[in-house]
Structure 1
Amino acid sequence: MSLLDYFKTKKKPSSTASTAKERLQIIVAHQRGERGAPDYFPQMKQEIIEVIRKYVKIETDQISVELDQNDDRLSVLELNVTLPEK
Structure 2
Amino acid sequence: MTIFDFFRPARSAPVARDRLQILLQHERVTAGASDLVAVLREEILAVLQRHVDIPADKVQVKMQRGEAISTLEVDVELPNPVRRKAA
Instruction: Give the TM-score taking structure 2 as reference length.
Output: 0.50
C-alpha RMSD of matched pairs (Å)? 2.3
Q: Distance in 1 between matches of 2:37 and 2:59?
A: 15
What is aligned with 1:85?
80
Structure 2 unaligned residues grouped into runs of 5+: 1-29, 82-87
Aligned residues: percent identity?
A: 31
Deviations 1:9-39 (A, max 9, x none): xxxxxxxxxxxxxxxxxxxxxxxxx856165
Aligned residues: 52
| 1:59 counterpart (55, 62, 68) | 55
The structure with the greater share of residues assigned to helix is: 2
Q: Distance in 1 between matches of 2:71 and 2:55?
A: 24
CA gap of 1:53–1:37, structure 2 versus 1, over 3 A, is same
Structure 1 unaligned residues grouped into runs of 5+: 1-33
What is aligned with 2:17?
none
Amino acid at match of 1:81: V
1:5-84 maps to which residues of 2 (within 5 A)?
Answer: 35=31, 37=33, 39-71=35-67, 73-84=68-79
Larger radius of gyration between Structure 1 and Structure 2: 2
Runs of 4+ in structure 1 over 6 Å off = none
Distance apart, 1:41 and its partner CA: 3.3
